[in-house]
């Protein structure tokens, strides 16, 4: 009967194009044991002479079975290397002993395997048999483990092998039968519920203040008879102050999309895990986190989960199980990240996706005939546009902003007042703006603002000749949603007017307007220099940046303006990084893209040393970002020391470098 069952299984496997491992076939083909012998401990063959490898495997039980039954194997410890929790047999804990004799909690190692890891987290040995928690069968009972041979197909929909083990998951092999794996869900609507009670905000903490609107005219007066074709006004917006209480800020839904391709080997992956540990530690119990890991393909490690004590522990376990390998499919990672946000059943008032990658997409970015690749923004799903140094410091700066969002869906409106005044342009950078056909009004879609964050928009007007002593130019206003109370708010700014004397006047340009014009023109030159460098004309890129630097140096000599000096420092840095193809490819392109992004959105980015607190480059940092950077930089030395002390250091494959475990860091977080 057993022999017939074995042949039937092999026939089914052949039909499904699945290869049966040799050692399993040898066990199934072995003759039944004589009476009194344990079916799982067959006697040695009586044939004389040395046995071949295949014969030896056919005579003896499964190697993994013997190792699974060895509870006192070499290198075993009483602490799980993944979650750092204690392991004690006979206390209701499911344990798994690998072929390399290292032991883990069964739920920890199955989670590790589900994330695509087929090597030992301690010694990096390749496993031939892996634990697998597939869909539960109707007759499944406590004490049943799943082991999936690594040389069997692992794609969704293929067959895996299930083996029932003892209650401690370290006993002898009892039985084998097939089961089909279920593919990853295409709809990510399994986000963890939001605790409505925890979102209740005390009334005295709910008032976050109003957005401030200030305006600065180019000059204070224009002669009556003069028609000003280009008259500039700076509209300056500032969000309310930081919220002091965690319970009074808006909760966050965060999706991190992490590159774990082969280029992330060694120190990069260790730094990624450390940075994610900082993020997990920083998020509050009302915040939710989901992690997407991508290499050749992308996989969601877990759905949006509240970062309470249990959620943090499970998140750290999943992140620490990541291993490197494969290509770089950024597009697939972003698509899955967007899907998590789009498919949520419940929504926190603030949501964001953070992408971390060290390389170029090797799957989705088309290359033109001249070898120049397109911008990676084309990979970002439309649903998450337009929101796009040290890894941990970069994360810290970003998280510091996301955890202080006070304004949502903000829109700036500009309305011309007196007859003949026409709005001609809005210098809005990366923000979408529009001007009405008749030029009588315009708007800018700004979106979310962090606490204390500022925005400046330069508009130009056509101002006609006047008959009276004053011309009322514009009236600004803004509408937005309070991120904490979700209340819709409208703020009216004061009307902007200009004096119209009958005589000629000589007015000096407003320093605020002049400073903004220099910033806008510098940003335009950065974009032109980047285009020249991407086209291989590095001398032209240097010339563009050098010309703008000279103009700013002349201005700084007169005013000693701090923003002007910061732009000079940044332009010089860019100039050095575009002098040659090698320098541009190494760091110039990334530095310029980050700088352009920062100025276009007027928001901090991680570029060069821009996460250093004493940098001279204008970084748009808010107080909450600076505070989070302080926390990150205080934690870094202790983490580095822990990584250096870690005993689990093994050489990485294919190189002489070493990979240090980050489990000490996870222990600290727990």
- CATH number, position 303: 3.40.50.410
- Range among 12-21, 193-202, 446-455 with highest mean pLDDT value: 446-455
Task: Judge if 260 and 230 occupy the same domain.
Answer: no
Q: How far is Cα 547 from Cα 541, in angstroms, rounded to an integer? A: 10
- 31 located within any domain: no
Which pLDDT belongs to residue 188? 85
Could you tell me the residue range of the domain that residue 529 belongs to?
513-608
Task: Judge if 397 and 481 occupy the same domain.
Answer: no
Task: Judge if 459 and 577 occupy the same domain.
Answer: no
Query: Where does a domain end: 123, 141, 161?
Result: 123
Task: Judge if 459 and 533 occupy the same domain.
Answer: no
- How many other CB atoms sit within 10 Å of the CB of residue 435? 17
- 83 located within any domain: no
DSSP 143-209: TEEEEEETTS--STTSEEEEEE--TTS-S---EEEEEEPPPPPSS---PPPP-HHHH---HHHH---
Lowest mean pLDDT: which of 222-226, 304-308, 605-609? 605-609
- Range among 3-12, 176-185, 320-329 with highest mean pLDDT value: 320-329
Task: Judge if 415 and 517 occupy the same domain.
Answer: no
Bridge pairing between strands 159-164 and 175-180: antiparallel
Percent of the chain residues past pLDDT 70, beyond the cut: 64
CA angle (278 as vertex; 275, 284 as ends), nearest 5: 140
Task: Judge if 287 and 385 occupy the same domain.
Answer: yes
CA angle (402 as vertex; 320, 205 as ends), nearest 5: 120
Query: Which is more confidently placed, 124 or 264?
Result: 264
Check pLDDT > 80 for residue 432: yes
Bridge pairing between strands 488-492 and 350-356: unpaired
Task: Judge if 391 and 284 occupy the same domain.
Answer: yes
Give mean pLDDT, residues 179-189. 59
Task: Judge if 288 and 395 occupy the same domain.
Answer: yes
> How confident is residue 156, by pLDDT bands cut at 50, 70 and 90?
very low
Q: How far is Cα 130 from Cα 123, in angstroms, rounded to an integer? A: 15
Report, in angstroms and rounded to the nearest whole number, the Rg of the chain calculated over CA atoms: 32
Which pLDDT belongs to residue 458? 98
Bridge pairing between strands 103-105 and 95-97: antiparallel
- Range among 166-170, 399-403, 419-423 with highest mean pLDDT value: 419-423
Task: Judge if 279 and 396 occupy the same domain.
Answer: yes
CA angle (598 as vertex; 593, 602 as ends), nearest 5: 155
- How many other CB atoms sit within 10 Å of the CB of residue 214? 15
- 202 located within any domain: no
- H/E run at residue 458: strand 454-463
| Summary mean pLDDT of the chain | 74
- Range among 158-172, 268-282, 370-384, 550-564 with highest mean pLDDT value: 268-282
Cite the beta strand spans of 9-168 per DSSP E. 95-97, 103-105, 129-131, 144-149, 159-164
Task: Judge if 417 and 492 occupy the same domain.
Answer: yes
- 71 located within any domain: no
Q: How far is Cα 273 from Cα 391, in angstroms, rounded to an integer? A: 10
- 236 located within any domain: yes
Task: Judge if 412 and 399 occupy the same domain.
Answer: no
- 261 located within any domain: yes
CA angle (287 as vertex; 284, 289 as ends), nearest 5: 115
Q: How far is Cα 426 from Cα 442, in angstroms, rounded to an integer? A: 8
Check pLDDT > 90 for residue 161: no
- 487 located within any domain: yes
Task: Judge if 393 and 304 occupy the same domain.
Answer: yes
Query: Where does a domain end: 455, 489, 508?
Result: 508
65: CB partners within 8 A, 6+ apart? 40, 172, 173
- 8 located within any domain: no
For the packed helices 391-402 and 623-645, what is the interaxial angle rounded to 10 degrees? 140
- H/E run at residue 397: helix 391-402
**What is the number of structural domains in the chain?**
4
Q: How far is Cα 471 from Cα 298, in angstroms, rounded to an integer? A: 59
DSSP 630-665: HHHHHHHHHHHHHHHH-S-EEEPTTSS-EEE--HHH
């Amino acid at each position: 009967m057993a022999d017939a069952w074995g042949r039937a299984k092999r026939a089914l496997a052949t039909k499904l194009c699945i290869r049966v491992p040799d050692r399993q076939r040898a066990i199934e083909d072995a003759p039944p044991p004589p009476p009194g012998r344990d079916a799982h401990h067959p006697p040695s063959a009586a044939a004389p002479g040395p046995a071949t490898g295949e014969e030896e495997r056919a005579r003896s039980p499964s190697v993994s079975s013997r190792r699974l039954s060895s509870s006192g194997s070499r290198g075993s410890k009483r602490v799980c290397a993944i979650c750092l929790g204690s392991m004690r047999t006979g206390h209701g804990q499911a344990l798994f002993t690998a072929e390399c004799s290292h032991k883990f909690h069964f739920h920890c190692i199955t989670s590790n395997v589900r994330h695509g890891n087929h090597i030992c987290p301690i010694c990096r040995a390749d496993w031939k048999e892996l634990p697998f928690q597939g869909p539960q069968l109707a007759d499944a009972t406590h004490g049943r483990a799943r082991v999936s041979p690594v040389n069997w197909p692992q794609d969704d929909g293929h067959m895996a092998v299930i083996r029932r083990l003892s209650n401690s998951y370290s006993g002898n092999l009892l039985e084998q039968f097939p089961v089909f794996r279920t593919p990853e869900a295409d709809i990510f609507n399994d986000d963890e519920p939001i605790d409505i009670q925890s979102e209740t905000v005390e009334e005295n903490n709910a008032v976050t203040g109003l957005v401030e609107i200030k305006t600065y005219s180019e000059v204070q007066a224009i002669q009556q008879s003069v028609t000003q074709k280009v008259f500039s006004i700076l509209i300056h917006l500032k969000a309310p102050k930081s919220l002091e209480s965690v319970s009074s800020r808006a909760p966050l839904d965060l999706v991190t999309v992490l590159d774990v391709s082969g280029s992330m080997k060694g120190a990069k992956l260790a730094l990624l895990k450390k940075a994610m540990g900082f993020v997990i530690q920083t998020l509050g119990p009302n915040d939710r986190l989901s992690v997407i890991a991508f290499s050749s393909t992308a996989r969601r490690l877990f759905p949006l989960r509240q970062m309470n004590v249990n959620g943090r522990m499970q998140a750290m376990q999943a992140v620490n199980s990541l291993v490197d390998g494969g290509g770089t499919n950024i597009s697939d990672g972003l698509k899955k990240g967007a899907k998590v946000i789009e498919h949520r059943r419940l929504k926190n008032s603030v949501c964001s996706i953070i992408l971390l990658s060290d390389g170029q997409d090797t799957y989705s970015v088309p290359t033109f005939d001249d070898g120049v690749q397109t911008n990676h923004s084309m990979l970002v799903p439309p649903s998450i546009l337009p929101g796009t140094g040290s890894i941990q410091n970069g994360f810290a700066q970003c998280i510091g902003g996301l955890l202080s969002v006070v304004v949502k869906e903000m829109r700036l409106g500009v309305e011309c007042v007196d007859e003949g005044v026409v709005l001609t342009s809005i210098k809005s950078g990366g923000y979408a703006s529009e001007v009405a056909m008749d030029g009588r009004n315009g708007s800018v879609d700004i979106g979310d603002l962090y606490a204390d964050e500022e925005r400046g928009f330069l508009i130009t007007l056509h101002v006609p000749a006047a008959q009276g002593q004053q011309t009322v130019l514009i009236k600004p206003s803004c509408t937005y949603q309070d991120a904490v109370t979700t209340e819709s708010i409208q703020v009216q700014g004061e009307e902007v007017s200009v004096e119209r004397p009958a005589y000629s006047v000589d007015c000096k340009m407003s320093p605020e307007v002049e400073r903004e014009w220099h910033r806008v023109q510098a940003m335009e030159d950065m974009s032109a220099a980047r285009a020249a460098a991407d086209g291989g004309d590095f001398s032209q890129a240097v010339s563009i940046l050098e010309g703008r630097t000279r103009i700013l140096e002349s201005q700084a000599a007169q005013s000693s303006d701090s923003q002007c000096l910061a732009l000079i420092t940044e332009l010089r840095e860019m100039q050095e990084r575009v002098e040659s193809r090698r320098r541009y490819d190494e760091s110039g392109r990334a530095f310029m893209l980050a700088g352009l992004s920062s100025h276009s959105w007027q928001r901090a980015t991680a570029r060069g040393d821009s996460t250093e607190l004493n940098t001279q480059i204008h970084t748009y940092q808010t107080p909450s970002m600076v505070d989070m950077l302080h926390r990150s930089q205080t934690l870094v030395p202790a983490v580095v020391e822990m990584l250096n002390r870690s005993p689990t250091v093994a050489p990485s494959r294919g190189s002489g470098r070493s990979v240090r475990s980050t489990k000490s860091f996870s222990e600290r977080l727990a």
